[in-house]
């Protein structure tokens, strides 16, 4: 597996795909990577074990309810935005 900085990756995509497509691909790839990271956080906190959710709800119910809603909503809004952009 090759490790690249964000700028190196963008240059690679542009080199392989051309300016327009490489730049667009880089933007989409960065968004997918961000969504993957955020979704992983959400699943780890709220979707991995019922006992963890119980513990979180007992220790900080309002904070975690707000955090879960915000995190889930943020991921959903990003997915919806790209779904609408791609449908036209």
Strand, helix or coil at 23?
helix
Q: Which two tokens stand for residue 62?
A: 């309002």
Tell me: the pLDDT tens digits for 30-77?
989 988 998 888 788 777 788 887 887 787 777 766 666 666 666 666
Asked if residue 1 is part of any domain, the answer here is no
Q: How far apart are the first and last CA of the chain?
A: 35
Cβ proximity of 9 and 29 under 8 Å: yes
Residue 34, C-beta contacts closer than 8 angstroms, at least 6 positions apart: 78
pTM for this prediction? 0.58
Asked if residue 41 is part of any domain, the answer here is yes
Asked if residue 71 is part of any domain, the answer here is yes
Number of structural domains (the chain) is 1
**Which structural domain, as residue segments, surrounds residue 52?**
6-87
Measured CA to CA, the distance from residue 76 to residue 35 in angstroms comes to 9
């Amino acid at each position: 597996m090759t490790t690249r900085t964000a700028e190196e990756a963008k240059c690679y995509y542009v080199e392989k795909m051309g300016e327009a497509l490489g730049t667009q691909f880089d933007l989409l790839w960065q968004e997918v990577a961000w969504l993957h990271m955020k979704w992983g956080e959400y699943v780890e906190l709220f979707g991995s074990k019922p006992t963890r959710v119980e513990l979180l709800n007992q220790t900080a119910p309002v904070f975690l309810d707000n955090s879960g809603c915000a995190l889930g909503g943020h991921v959903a809004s990003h997915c919806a935005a790209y779904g609408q952009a791609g449908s036209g």
